[in-house]
Chains A and B, each alone.
Chain A
């Protein structure tokens, strides 16, 4: 079945952090905006599969797009975090060294960072390093005080919610498989529903390619062939908050000869620790599985940086795949692309966006909007509200983060806060309901997880998953076999035990 009733000014392919940021920024103008996402939620690709670091911008080639958006994103993050209520801490970061070679690397980083406009970079001695983070090893370090940590899923969701509340329309389970230029419009064909032949056509004046790992394919589909994306996979361990008590800031080892960072330890805003990622090239961009050999390597290398890499602290593992644009002949990693070439009318093309794409999502979005503004006059959207409000803000609204007086007030306001659904992370029923009922509400267990942290604690849903599945089924009117973990087809149940 094919339906064709959708006309937009801008259709963004991909609801990762960049796509969501673009949707939000596009809505500052009077444009009808759609976001097409093949998964059932925002941020299911690399936007949620990274270290959650606000990068300082001292490793990227001066003058590169990567460097510029990183510095701009870093310096501007306090403002957007405040607007959207996104948890974030400017913890600073250290890159530690042991040898003369390491020292030369760190001095090079310092020079590069300063050329890029990074602030406050300093080489510190061992004593100062231990003052900054007592758990850090190393004889000396490069300290980047502007680096920080944020919750990448919360940030992506916040941008998406803000975009949606300002009128951007999100379409999930829409995998764009074809694009045709008809006159002044693009027709995008999106697969949806159970059958592979079901398709919807989205007509739009502008297409934005923000499809991450799929960017080269989509780019070619839109008439801009020739890009090569190579997938660099990295695996992670998530450690218990008990381990997190020992780590104040991201601690990276000095880079290896090839300039890459080996396994590092990163605290999360919620108090856990990430160990990873490692890095290896993969062909299959959809395979996020972890492997025993790589996990063993993470433990071996992680222990060089952080004592608490112990089995008793293991909570979970995950993997991400960085979509690096490379020169196919030499394998050299190339800069981010954000373009609107003359020969591909109506296309804004973002290719090779990986780290620091989280830090630089908003600056990238502004550049994407500027490309459109350079081609046509648009009216401002007078009703645009850059702020999230109420429980759509995460910072300062979570039950878990409140003190007893705050918690009492929350329960008095809504007794559903008195029911603790997730025991490890102290997530209340009211928060789960808000996650489902709110803008871009959760449709799956993972959707509730990314919005509330329920199931993310040390028991991994042992206590709360049954409750969340019940609440989802009730709220959404689902049959048992329709309750999903996260992806299409990821049903939790095959039906009822007895009729």
Chain B
């Protein structure tokens, strides 16, 4: 079996891996390889033929392939080494990366490994949706791949379960291709995806969004014939007697994304209980020395622009790691307080400025984001509106942290806590 030494191995050539590779090259890291299981780089962007990508980063609205293309072109100019058709099947704590290719198994021994595997979709089985198991039940991303990459029409009359962004985008896509979309049914009392997608994908096409509803039964032994939807109570339990059967041949599930961390677990990387991505510090270091993570493998983003940004920040940290100039790991725990679903990083050293990413637990108006360190509130930002669908990013200055935190080694530093309250 072939074995190669590399300074950096990037696993995945989606938006995070692409941005990390380009940034590393610009930072002078030459000895790097990007491993991609598909036969072309771009990741999930390749099937996202709708526009709206890049508004933050490029100030213009691009399609997914166009957005990816900008990075692919830059990577090509910089001479980034991509290995496509290369599935990573092994990763250990010693940063040995084992890849299956048509040419054989290759093992890379890396100084740094960048986890950029993205995420996968939650399935019908994971939600334990009862009923028969006919064809015509797709996760939104699979339906999107079939329609946009494989030219296969998945159905004629669809119900969408879950108001995740891809589900709403597929509602519009199916409508544009002549299918009837009966409605989008969301178990929560608010939409899961971005408001712009509710407006542009549902409202503009007259597709109803039914909140506090879920699918309680599927019928059809061969192809799907109908689903039954029902209203749920405040505990998300279906209310008896509210069921309504909707004839349809297609059920699209857009019920959540899960960071794809099977390789991370192989290497012993510790995961965050809420995000199910790696526990990282402000330098994107996981619990395993020399293994870093950014993008959707770390936390599911709503905008790809921030995936790129996060991966570029990671690249700077990796370059410093290779140069031996990254500070030792931090001991300040970062906690999600009231109104906050999760916050990353989960711990910081606090010797340098850093960015927190977080999500609101529920939609709210006129709230204040407060970051407290011990007794002191070190930052307050007011928001007219917050939504769980929209990731919040907040800069924190190291100088603002309480002095004990950065200095004292003797006692355990006090945690940072982030809250969103009225």
Inter-chain contacts of A426 with B (CB < 8 A): 89
A215 to B412, CA, bound (A): 72
Set B125, B141, B219: member contacting A316, Cβ < 8 A: B125
A226 to B1, CA, bound (A): 65
Q: A303 to nearest B CB, angstroms?
A: 14
Question: Which of A420, A424, A486 gathers most chain B CB within 10 Å?
Answer: A420
A343 to B156, CA, bound (A): 54
Given known A-B contacts A490-B135, A493-B146, A460 and B1 have beta carbons under 8 A apart: no
Q: Are B124 and A460 in contact (CB-based, < 8 A)?
A: yes
Q: Which residue of A lies closest to B249 (CB)?
A: A494
Kindly specify which of B17-25, B102-110, B414-422 makes contact with the partner chain.
B102-110
Set A289, A311, A466: member contacting B126, Cβ < 8 A: A311
Question: Which of B100, B123, B131 gathers most chain A CB within 10 Å?
Answer: B100
Interface residues of B in 46-63 (CB under 8 A from A): none
A237 to B155, CA, bound (A): 28
Q: Are A415 and B133 in contact (CB-based, < 8 A)?
A: no
Q: Are A411 and B100 in contact (CB-based, < 8 A)?
A: yes
Q: Are A496 and B101 in contact (CB-based, < 8 A)?
A: no
Inter-chain contacts of A492 with B (CB < 8 A): 135-136, 146, 152, 154
Inter-chain contacts of A491 with B (CB < 8 A): 135, 223
B290 sits at the interface (CB 8 A): no
Q: Are A292 and B126 in contact (CB-based, < 8 A)?
A: no
A414 to B333, CA, bound (A): 50
Interface residues of A in 431-478 (CB under 8 A from B): 458-463, 465-466, 469-470
A232 sits at the interface (CB 8 A): no
Inter-chain contacts of A470 with B (CB < 8 A): 150
**Per-residue contact bits, chain B 72-97, to A (CB 8 Å; 1 contact, 0 not):** 00000000000001010110000000
Interface residues of B in 1-53 (CB under 8 A from A): 1, 37
A318 sits at the interface (CB 8 A): yes
Q: Are B102 and A415 in contact (CB-based, < 8 A)?
A: yes
Inter-chain contacts of B147 with A (CB < 8 A): 497
A407 sits at the interface (CB 8 A): yes
Set A292, A317, A466, A486: member contacting B150, Cβ < 8 A: A466
**Per-residue contact bits, chain A 405-430, to B (CB 8 Å; 1 contact, 0 not):** 10110011001111110011010100
A135 sits at the interface (CB 8 A): no
Set A292, A311, A315, A484: member contacting B216, Cβ < 8 A: A292
A493 to B218, CA, bound (A): 18
Set B37, B100, B126, B131: member contacting A314, Cβ < 8 A: B126
Inter-chain contacts of B303 with A (CB < 8 A): none
Q: Which residue of B lies closest to A242 (CB)?
A: B265
Given known A-B contacts A411-B104, A420-B89, A290 and B130 have beta carbons under 8 A apart: yes
Q: How many A-B residue pairs have CB under 8 A?
A: 150
A418 to B146, CA, bound (A): 24
A115 to B120, CA, bound (A): 53
Q: How large is the interface on A (under 10, 10 to 19, 20 to 34, 35 or more residues)?
A: 35 or more
**Per-residue contact bits, chain A 217-256, to B (CB 8 Å; 1 contact, 0 not):** 0000000000000000000011000000000000000000
Inter-chain contacts of A460 with B (CB < 8 A): 123-126
Inter-chain contacts of B134 with A (CB < 8 A): 485, 490
Given known A-B contacts A466-B149, A491-B223, A494-B156, A287 and B105 have beta carbons under 8 A apart: no
B139 sits at the interface (CB 8 A): yes
Q: Are A420 and B37 in contact (CB-based, < 8 A)?
A: yes
Interface size, chain B (Cβ < 8 Å): 54
Inter-chain contacts of B135 with A (CB < 8 A): 484-486, 490-492
A408 to B2, CA, bound (A): 10
A238 to B128, CA, bound (A): 10
Q: Are A497 and B153 in contact (CB-based, < 8 A)?
A: yes
Q: Which residue of B lies closest to A407 (CB)?
A: B105
A75 sits at the interface (CB 8 A): no
A498 sits at the interface (CB 8 A): yes
Given known A-B contacts A314-B128, A459-B123, A411 and B105 have beta carbons under 8 A apart: yes
Inter-chain contacts of B156 with A (CB < 8 A): 494
Q: Which residue of B lies closest to A424 (CB)?
A: B262
Q: Are B128 and A311 in contact (CB-based, < 8 A)?
A: yes
B142 sits at the interface (CB 8 A): yes
**Per-residue contact bits, chain B 254-278, to A (CB 8 Å; 1 contact, 0 not):** 0000000010000000000000000
**Per-residue contact bits, chain A 314-325, to B (CB 8 Å; 1 contact, 0 not):** 111110000000
A290 to B135, CA, bound (A): 15
Q: Which 4 A-B pairs have the closest CB atoms?
A: A489-B222, A485-B135, A316-B125, A420-B87
25 A-B contact pairs sorted by A residue (CB < 8 Å): A286-B221, A288-B132, A314-B127, A315-B123, A315-B125, A317-B125, A404-B90, A404-B105, A404-B107, A407-B89, A407-B100, A411-B104, A418-B105, A428-B100, A462-B142, A466-B142, A466-B150, A469-B152, A485-B134, A488-B222, A489-B223, A492-B152, A493-B152, A497-B151, A497-B152
Known: A411-B100, A462-B121, A496-B151. 4 other contacts (CB 8 A): A419-B100, A491-B223, A492-B136, A497-B151
